Amino acid sequence: MSNNTTTEKKQPPVILCIGMAGSGKTTFMQRINAHLHEKKTPPYVLNLDPAVGSLPFTANIDIRDTVNYKEVMKQYNLGPNGGILTSLNLFTTKFDQVLDLVAKRSDSVSHILVDTPGQIEIFTWSASGAIITDTLAATYPTMVAYIIDTPRTTSPATFMSNMLYACSILYKTKLPFILVFNKTDVVSHDFAVEWMTDFEKFQLALSQDTTYMSSLMSSMSLVLDEFYNHLKVVGLSAVTGAGVDDFFKAVDEAVEEYEVEYKPEIERMIQEKVNG
What does each of the 276 residues of the chain score in pLDDT, given as a tens digit?
445 444 457 899 999 999 988 899 999 999 999 999 999 999 999 999 999 989 999 999 999 999 999 999 999 999 999 999 999 999 999 999 999 999 999 999 999 999 999 888 899 999 999 999 999 999 999 999 999 999 999 988 889 889 989 999 998 999 999 999 999 999 999 999 999 988 888 888 888 876 667 777 777 777 788 788 878 999 999 999 999 999 999 999 999 999 999 999 999 988 888 887
pLDDT score for 96: 95
pLDDT score for 6: 43
How large is the angle between the packed helices 127-139 and 80-92, nearest 10 degrees?
Answer: 40
**14-275 belongs to CATH 3.40.50.300:** yes
pLDDT score for 193: 94
Instruction: Say how far apart CA 141 and CA 224 lie, in whole Å.
Output: 25
pLDDT score for 211: 67
Query: How much of the chain is helix, strand and coil, in % rounded to 5?
Result: 55, 10, 30
Instruction: Say how far apart CA 71 and CA 82 lie, in whole Å.
Output: 12
Residue ranges per domain, the chain? 14-275
Q: Taking a C-beta distance cutoff of 8 angstroms, is the pair 18, 34 a contact?
A: no
Q: Could you tell me the sign of the dihedral formed by the alpha carbons of 172, 25, 135, 80, in that order?
A: positive
Instruction: Say how far apart CA 56 and CA 44 lie, in whole Å.
Output: 15
Q: Taking a C-beta distance cutoff of 8 angstroms, is the pair 98, 66 a contact?
A: no
